[in-house]
């Protein structure tokens, strides 16, 4: 009877015995419980014990039913044995209808694998408690945020170790407040788009998901966009107009992302974020390839092409976009952003108002450039540079009159590098000053050594290339004077080659330097003449004594069957004019005897090229001197 009184008696809600609080029989039938439970006090007789139990069970039931905290008692399979009215009210159902329901479905405990595993641990008795914030669906379709607690029930009238108590605390208000705060924290107030922080959070999550889930494409894509000339808008029209423009751009980007993002089955639009300033990003999760990204980037350019109407102001803007698309595995958020940043830079460099796709080869080239640029200076100190010399040959007698010093970098990683790979970099970062000084010193030592080794004959002069930055950023005149004094090389045996663009418009310091060098007795040659302004009239007023005709002129001297008379006529006129102005002429890139013969007939003074010799190590020049300098 006591059993029935507890478990079989219909309660105030009219529940049937099987669907109500667990029975005492069930509880006591638990072998585990009975072995572990302490023995009842010996002073207590059996009927008194039953009365106490019934009374306390009644108290428990009353508490359970009147509690404002939504609760349910579960069995070890996670099925609801009893639910209180507060829980019924929370989920919008009659509490009786919840009996036999799966608690995990009711409280969304199965959605997250980690929460689900922890929940199973509590059900199995391996863990005492689980707490998790979940979103519970109500019967009317609305949902409510709750903190779910699942805990093993202690020994007692509720059924002891066989039972688990589920309780739910409504935290919707707190959750909404936190969500609002998070939204503010993660969104840009001007455009209302996700900000950089949220973008990186989503990007990282997308990369993780793509690496673990098999359902997607396993790829990821990114368009990284920067408005062209936005600073001018801010500067000329003010920040208010600038902000409005950003907001209008954001709307168009969102339109593109929604339009192209929705096309796949079950897809939402792509994430659009403002990363700062006038930079935006469109993230394509589960991308299908570069075509998809290219299409998106083009749609963005098209969308931005229409002028913006901002409170009476009509504004046109364009954008540059760096596009990256790759497999997600092995890709990090920072790696992807770096690639996008580089590609955006290329898009700007290539002329703006365009999208550019990431190119691994171009990137490798850039990385090599960076690696070279940063190691140039230490490489000078480590002695990684060497000089080769190429004869400058008299076209009349075919004898070497001088040599041009040409620098090479014996790079420990990349092998021997030609100057075209690093001179421009050295000019950019200023290392050319140290490198140029080293070249000058080494070449002068070498020329002096040849002179001393062959005291009898006419000595060879050395021609050294000088970059414009050496004239501006160092005291070239003092360096030359010091090196000549130190090496003992007569100034007449030194020629300096500068390009025409370097001396064009020379005024002030460069002109004074040229004059001082010339006064010292050093010859100045204009290198690659014909590729720049070709302003002979101007050059004749500078202290220049040699013109080195660019190789392209000689290349124009085609073979006998395909003559190019124009090139020949130009060279003829140039040589005549140069001679009238007191300049001598050297032709570069003489590769055939035929070219040499025509140059000789035209009146060109010296030639340099593979016909005579490639640039060679100093000991081969030595051998040439020993052989009487005959180059042809
Ligand atoms: P550049 O001063 O006009 O030097 C001539 C270049 O033409 C050399 O290339 C030489 O190897 C190449 N050349 C010579 N004969 C022929 C030929 O018959 N056919 C063809 N196709 N090419 C020929 P290199 O050594 O690669 O030097 C390239 C450029 O690097 C030089 O052009 C010069 O502007 C620069 N450079 C070389 N050494 C130095 C240096 O020490 N300082 C500075 N500032 N620039 C240097
Ligand atoms: Mg040169
Ligand atoms: Mg040249």
- Angle of helix 360-381 relative to helix 419-429, nearest 10 degrees, comes to 70
Exposure b/e, 250-269, CB count within 10 A at least 16 = b: bebbbebbeebbeeeeeeeb
Q: How far is the CA of 588 from the centre of ligand 3 (A)?
A: 6
Which span out of 323-332, 501-510, 548-557 was modeled with the highest average pLDDT? 323-332
Distance (Å, rounded) from C-alpha 172 to C-alpha 406?
A: 76
What pLDDT was estimated at residue 100?
95
Of residues 526, 537, 539, 531, the one with CA closest to residue 585 = 526
Which of 406, 588, 632 has most ligand 1 atoms within 8 Å of its beta carbon, as the pocket-test mutant? Answer: 406
| Cα(73)–Cα(274) distance, integer angstroms | 49
- CA 372/CA 418 separation, integer angstroms: 12
Alpha-carbon gap, residue 199 to 282, rounded angstroms: 9
Backbone angles phi, psi at 13, to 5 degrees: -90, 0
- Structural domains in the chain, sorted by start: 2-176 (3.30.450.20), 194-358 (3.30.70.270), 371-626 (3.20.20.450)
Determine contact, residues 587/552, Cβ cutoff 8 Å: no
* Separation CA 94–CA 13 (nearest Å): 10
Whole-number Cα distances in Å, 160 to 97, 371, 612, 630: 24, 70, 103, 111
- Other C-beta atoms lying within 10 Å of the C-beta of residue 314: 8
Please provide the average confidence, as pLDDT, over all residues in the chain. Answer: 87
423: confidence class by pLDDT, cuts 50, 70, 90: very high
* Alpha-carbon dihedral 110, 111, 112, 117, rounded to 10 degrees: 10
pLDDT, tens digit, 9 for 90 and up, residues 171-191 = 999 999 998 999 999 999 999
Of the candidates 399, 484, 602, 85, which has an alpha carbon nearest to the alpha carbon of residue 476?
484
**C-alpha to C-alpha distance for 6 and 538, rounded to whole angstroms:** 116
The neighbouring-strand residues paired with 201 are none
Task: Kindly write down the DSSP assignment for every residue of 541-588, as one continuous string.
Answer: TTT--EEEE-HHHHHTS--SSS--HHHHHHHHHHHHHHHHTT-EEEES
Q: Rounded to whole angstroms, how far apart are CA atoms 74 and 58?
A: 19
Dihedral sign for Cα 281, 287, 290, 292, please.
negative
Of 496, 488, 497, which is closest to residue 459 (Cα–Cα)? 488
Pocket test for ligand 1, best of 388, 419, 424 (most atoms within 8 A of CB): 419
Nearest by Cα to 530 from 571, 581, 591, 558: 571
Express each pLDDT in 437-453 by its tens digit: 999 999 999 999 999 99
**499 CA distance to ligand 2 centroid (A)?**
8
Running DSSP on this structure, what letter comes out for residue 229? Answer: T
pLDDT at 47 over 50: yes
Q: How confident is the model at residue 25 (pLDDT cuts 50, 70, 90)?
A: very low
Which pLDDT does position 445 carry in this prediction?
98
Rounded Cα gap, residues 607 and 24, in angstroms:
114
What integer pLDDT is reported at residue 555 of this predicted model?
Answer: 85
Query: In the prediction, which pLDDT does 11 show?
Result: 35
Beta carbons of 163 and 74 less than 8 angstroms apart: yes
565 vs 350, higher pLDDT: 350
Q: Which residues of 384-399 are buried (b: 16+ CB within 10 A; e: fewer)?
A: bbebbbbbbbbbeebb
Q: How far apart are CA 21 and CA 18, in angstroms?
A: 8
Residue 81 confidence (pLDDT): 94
Tokens of 210: 């793509």
DSSP-derived pairing of the beta strands 129-137 and 143-152? antiparallel
Instruction: Say yes or no to pLDDT of 422 above 80.
Output: yes
Over residues 283-287, mean pLDDT: 95
Q: Whose CA is nearest to atom 4 of ligand 1?
A: 406
CB atoms within 10 A of CB 316: 10
pLDDT band of residue 1 (cuts 50, 70, 90) is very low
**Count of residues making up the chain:** 632
Ligand nearest to the CA of 608: 1
pLDDT for position 624: 87
- 153-167, 203-217, 294-308, 400-414: least confidently modelled range: 153-167
Mutate to test the pocket of ligand 1, among 588, 613, 617 (most ligand atoms within 8 A of CB): 588
pLDDT band at 626 (very low <50, low <70, confident <90, very high): confident
pTM for the full predicted model: 0.62
Taking only the tens place, the pLDDT of each residue in 588-602 is: 999 999 999 999 999
Q: Supply 140's token pair.
A: 């009317």
Under the banding of pLDDT at 50, 70 and 90, the label for residue 506 is low
Give the pair of three-digit tokens for residue 66. 């009147």
Task: Name the residue with tokens 């960076």.
Answer: 370
Q: How far is the CA of 413 from the centre of ligand 2 (A)?
A: 27
Look at 233 and 15; give whichever has higher pLDDT: 233
With CA atoms as reference, report the closest residue to 107 among 126, 130, 127, 76.
130
CA of 514 to the centre of ligand 2 (A): 17
> Residue of the nearest CA to atom 30 in ligand 1?
419
pLDDT band at 496 (very low <50, low <70, confident <90, very high): very high
pLDDT computed for residue 24 by the predictor = 32
Question: Is 324 in a helix, a strand, or coil?
Answer: strand
CB atoms within 10 A of CB 48: 10
What's the average model confidence in pLDDT over 81-88?
Answer: 96
Task: Spell out a b/e string for 429-466, using b for 16 or more CB atoms within 10 Å of the CB, else e.
Answer: eebbbbbbbbbbbbbbbbbbebbeeeeeeebbbbbbbb
Q: Whose CA is nearest to atom 15 of ligand 1?
A: 609
Q: Are 25 and 3 in contact (CB under 8 A)?
A: yes
Segment 119-142 shows an average pLDDT of 93
């Amino acid at each position: 009877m006591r059993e029935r009184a507890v478990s079989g008696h219909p309660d105030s809600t009219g529940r049937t015995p099987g669907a109500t609080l667990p029975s005492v029989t069930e509880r006591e039938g638990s072998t585990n419980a009975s072995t572990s439970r302490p023995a009842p006090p010996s002073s207590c007789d059996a009927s008194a014990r039953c009365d106490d139990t019934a009374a306390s069970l009644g108290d428990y039931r009353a508490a359970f039913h009147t509690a404002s905290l939504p609760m349910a008692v579960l069995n070890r399979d996670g099925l609801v044995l009893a639910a209180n009215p507060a829980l019924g009210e929370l989920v919008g159902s009659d509490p009786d209808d919840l009996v036999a329901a799966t608690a995990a479905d009711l409280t969304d405990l199965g959605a997250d694998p980690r929460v689900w595993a922890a929940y199973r641990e509590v059900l199995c008795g391996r863990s005492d408690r689980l707490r998790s914030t979940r979103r519970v669906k109500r019967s009317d379709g609305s949902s409510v945020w709750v903190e779910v607690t699942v805990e093993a029930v202690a020994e007692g009238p509720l059924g002891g170790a066989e039972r688990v108590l589920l309780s739910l605390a409504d935290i919707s208000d707190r959750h909404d407040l936190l969500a609002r705060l998070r939204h503010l924290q993660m969104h840009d107030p001007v455009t209302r788009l996700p900000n950089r922080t949220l973008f990186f959070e989503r990007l990282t999550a997308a990369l993780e998901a793509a690496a673990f889930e098999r359902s997607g494409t396993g790829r990821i894509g990114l368009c990284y966009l920067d408005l062209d000339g936005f600073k001018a808008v801010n500067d000329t029209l003010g920040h208010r107009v600038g902000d409005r423009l950003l907001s209008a751009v954001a709307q168009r980007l969102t339109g593109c992302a929604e339009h192209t993002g929705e096309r796949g089955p079950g897809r939402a639009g792509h994430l659009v974020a403002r990363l700062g300033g006038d930079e935006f990003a469109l993230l394509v999760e589960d991308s299908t390839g570069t075509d998809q990204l290219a299409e998106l980037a083009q749609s963005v350019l098209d969308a931005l092409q229409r002028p913006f109407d901002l409170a009476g102001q009509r504004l046109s803007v364009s954008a540059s976009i760096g596009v990256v698309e790759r497999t997600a595995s092995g890709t990090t958020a920072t790696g992807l952003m770096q690639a996008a940043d580089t590609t955006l830079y290329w898009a700007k460099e290539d002329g703006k108002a365009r999208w550019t796709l990431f190119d691994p080869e171009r990137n490798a080239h850039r990385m090599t450039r960076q690696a070279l640029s940063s190691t140039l200076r230490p490489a000078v100190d480590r002695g990684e540079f060497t000089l080769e010399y190429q004869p400058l040959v008299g076209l009349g007698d075919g004898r070497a009159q001088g040599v041009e010093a040409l620098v090479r970098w014996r790079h420990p990683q990349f092998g021997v590098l030609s100057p075209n790979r690093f001179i421009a970099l050295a000019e950019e970062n200023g290392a050319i000053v140290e490198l140029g000084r080293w070249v000058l010193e080494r070449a002068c030592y070498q020329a002096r050594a040849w002179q001393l080794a062959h005291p009898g004959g006419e000595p060879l002069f050395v021609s050294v290339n000088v970059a414009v930055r050496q004239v501006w950023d160092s005291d070239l005149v003092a360096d030359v004077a010091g090196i000549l004094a130190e090496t003992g090389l007569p100034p007449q045996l030194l020629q300096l080659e500068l390009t025409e663009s370097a001396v064009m418009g020379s005024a002030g310091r460069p002109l004074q330097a040229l004059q001082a060098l010339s006064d010292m007795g050093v010859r100045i040659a204009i290198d690659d003449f014909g590729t720049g302004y070709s302003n002979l009239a101007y050059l004749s007023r500078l202290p220049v004594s040699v013109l080195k005709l660019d190789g392209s002129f000689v290349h124009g001297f085609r073979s006998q069957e395909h003559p190019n008379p124009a090139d020949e006529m130009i060279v003829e006129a140039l040589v005549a004019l140069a001679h009238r102005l007191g300049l001598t002429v050297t032709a570069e890139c003489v590769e055939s005897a035929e070219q040499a013969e025509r140059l000789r007939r035209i009146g060109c003074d010296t030639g340099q090229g593979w016909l005579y010799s490639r640039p060679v190590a100093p000991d081969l020049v030595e051998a040439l001197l020993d052989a009487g300098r005959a180059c042809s």
